[in-house]
Homo-oligomer: A and B are copies of this chain.
Amino acid sequence: MKYTLAEEDYLKAIYKIAERQGVPVSTSAIADLMQTRPASVTDMLKKLAEKELIDYKRYHGVSLTKTGARWATQLIRKHRLWECFLVDKLGFNWDEVHEIAEQLEHIQSETLIDRLDDYLENPKFDPHGDPIPDASGAYRMRYQILLSDLGIGQRAILVGVREHGSTFLQYLDQNGLALGVDLEILEILPYDGSLRLRLAANDPILISGQVARQLYVRQIPTTG
């Protein structure tokens, strides 16, 4: 089976919204994410339902069928593997790859993506810390703990980002907040919830609660 670029982008959008907000997924949530109009979404939903990629009941939102979810997962696999390629092989920064991967994910080839996977040595996470589904669609859920969930004195490793905008990612770069860094919460300011962090051996930095809510971490048991 083959689907159009537009159909594929809708499937991916529905998958991502369902992953965060659960089902059913509303027309306006899709329109919002895809920067399009609700009326256009309704039109496409009818087509996707016709092809049995989604379950759709007028006025009550949609959910992906098994087939639809499978296809969405493959798209995410392709997107994330291409991002790995761009960063690991071509030397792009993690804030530059999303747009390009958004195009590359639609390349149709049975074998291309599996060979790319092997060439990259089967990475399990993309440059943003997002898990990469294997050829069967299975993937390990990433730790869902946000930095904002932790308390003073707790230590953690940065393992992912919720927000993918390049402005945000560049901000992280400039503050030494790369994936894998070891950090400790020194202080949480009572006025606005800003956090003071110690990163490795460097001077402490201050980040807003807004930023802390975009950072996924793996907690390190405090051995003291």
Instruction: Tell me the A residues contacting B by CB distance below 8 Å.
Output: 86, 89-92, 96, 99-100, 103-104, 107-109, 111-112, 115-116, 119
For residue A115, which residue of chain B has the nearest CB?
Answer: B90
A109, B115: Cα distance in complex, Å: 23
Nearest CB in chain B: distance from A74 CB, A: 16
18 cross-chain CB contacts under 8 A = A86-B112, A89-B119, A90-B112, A90-B115, A90-B116, A90-B119, A91-B115, A92-B111, A92-B115, A96-B111, A99-B109, A100-B107, A100-B109, A100-B112, A103-B107, A103-B109, A104-B104, A104-B107
Number of copies of this kind of chain in the complex:
2
Q: In the complex, what distance in Å separates the CA atom of A106 from the CA atom of B138?
A: 30
Tell me the minimal C-beta distance from A207 to chain B in angstroms. 30
Q: Which residues of B contact A119 (CB under 8 A)?
A: 89-90
Bound-state Cα–Cα, A99 to B108, Å: 9
Q: Which of B96, B108, B115 interacts with A103 by CB under 8 Å?
A: B108
Chain B residues, Cβ within 8 Å of A99:
109
Collect the chain B residues with CB atoms within 8 Å of residue A90's CB. 112, 115-116, 119
Interchain CA distance A119-B115 in the complex, whole Å: 18
Given the complex of chains A and B, what is the CA–CA distance between A106 and B100 in angstroms? 11
CB distance from A109 to the nearest CB of B (A): 5
Whose C-beta in chain B lies nearest to the C-beta of A103?
B107
Min CB distance, A85 to chain B, in Å? 10
A29 to chain B, nearest CB (A): 28
Residues of B within 8 A of A91 (CB): 115
- List B contacts of A104 (CB < 8 A): 104, 107
> What is the chain B residue whose CB lies nearest that of A89?
B119
Tell me which residues across on chain B come within 8 A of A100, comparing CB atoms: 107, 109, 112
How many angstroms between the C-alpha atoms of A109 and B90 in the bound complex?
13
In the assembled complex, the Cα of A91 lies from the Cα of B108 at a distance in Å of 17
